Amino acid sequence: MSLGPVLVDLKGTTLSDAEREMLRHPLVGGVIYFTRNFESPEQIAALTSEIHALRDPPLLVCVDHEGGRVQRFKTGFTRLPAVRKLGQVYDRDAKHARHLAETCGWVMAIELRAAGIDFSFAPVLDLDRGMSKVIGDRAFHSRPEPAADLAHSYMRGMHLAGMAATGKHFPGHGGCEADSHVDVPVDPRRYEDILIEDIVPFERMIHYGMEAIMPAHVIYQNVDAQPAGFSKFWLKDVLRTRLGFQGVIFSDDLNMEGARVAGGYVERARAALAAGCDIALVCNNPQAAQQVLDGLGTHSDPASQARLIRMHGRGVIERAQLQQQTQWHQAVERLNELNEDTTLDLGLS
């Protein structure tokens, strides 16, 4: 059975019979975890193992685990700093910041891989323009070159841990104040301005070998009337053709307010896939996920299938084995020091 074009979530810390049946649906390609799915490192590893065993090839299992405000698993996992702290270090010592970024990417990825999780939706490649509250300290920097430099090091750490990288939110969510979770953000800038600024980190990371990208639920009104995640111009003309990206394109969550302009849930999934997404996320709404699975119809794309398979995690490491490594202890100590560095206090609660 191939991996389908829909990524879904779960209600709790164990699989119900109905969820097992859902995950065997041929349109399902993977599962995304949220905090409600986590109880302990041992529990999440067992749940992941059970999900992987349901299908061949195994379903993709992923999570948003960036650090800072967006870290789904806490107990038993290293507290990861908001990556904006790395940007602040970069302004003082770029070489040291790159080293810390690689360490951060490695710790994030290796701890998830020790639980069997294939990948995290990271790194964020948006620029912090000081206006987007939903981005803010999730961005490495306000300028494109430092952001790309740090993201490259972060991805290198992920790769060393056996994890593929997913850059988000193409072509950049930092230029508008509204939050696409609860609103339909509109960015009034010209295409030329976005191209020479916000797209730079994505272009660099594509060149460095980034495996996946997630577009923004943002309307760039002077470029296209559709949000980027539903736009053939952004995904096919710019991302695939101009930038030469050959990796996976994940939609952002189709349950977000920023996706409502595409219609009902089935229409949203169809629009995202038609625009160029390889897989559509339907999260935090089980009824909507079922609607998509019931109404989307057959879907076959060998190119998407080949891209999705490459998102599986590489290498196997047990949690007990990881915690015996000197490398892991030293890396965690460095990140703890970064978290505790009051000279980098962002003034955020």
Q: Record the pTM.
A: 0.94
CB 153 within 8 A of CB 204: no
d(CA 301, CA 96): 43
Query: From the candidates 9, 252, 253, 278, which is the catalytic residue?
Result: 252
pLDDT tens, position by position, 186-195? 999 999 999 9
Largest CA distance in the chain: 55
The CATH topology of domain 6-336 is TIM Barrel (3.20.20)
Residue 256: the pLDDT is: 80
Residue 345: the pLDDT is: 44
- What letter represents residue 33's amino acid? Y
Peptide bond into 169 cis (omega under 30): yes
pLDDT tens, position by position, 250-283? 999 998 876 788 789 999 999 999 999 999 999 9
Write out the two tokens for 32. Answer: 């995304």
- What letter represents residue 105's amino acid? G
CA-wise closest residue to 293 among 304, 306, 277, 282: 282
Q: Which residue has the tokens 């995290």?
A: 120
Query: From the candidates 25, 181, 183, 301, which is the catalytic residue?
Result: 181
Residue 300: the pLDDT is: 80
99 noted as active-site residue: no
Write out the two tokens for 146. Answer: 């430092």
Domain boundaries, the chain: 6-336
Opening angle at CA 84, ends 79 and 89, nearest 5: 100
Per-residue pLDDT of the chain (349 residues; tens, 9 = 90+): 799 999 999 999 999 999 999 999 999 999 999 999 999 999 999 999 999 999 999 999 999 999 999 999 999 999 999 999 999 999 999 999 999 999 999 999 999 999 999 999 999 999 998 888 789 999 999 999 999 999 999 999 999 999 999 999 999 998 887 666 667 789 999 999 999 999 999 999 999 999 999 999 899 999 999 999 999 999 999 999 999 999 999 999 998 876 788 789 999 999 999 999 999 999 999 999 999 999 998 888 889 999 999 999 999 999 999 999 999 999 999 999 998 875 654 333 2
Residue 213: the pLDDT is: 98
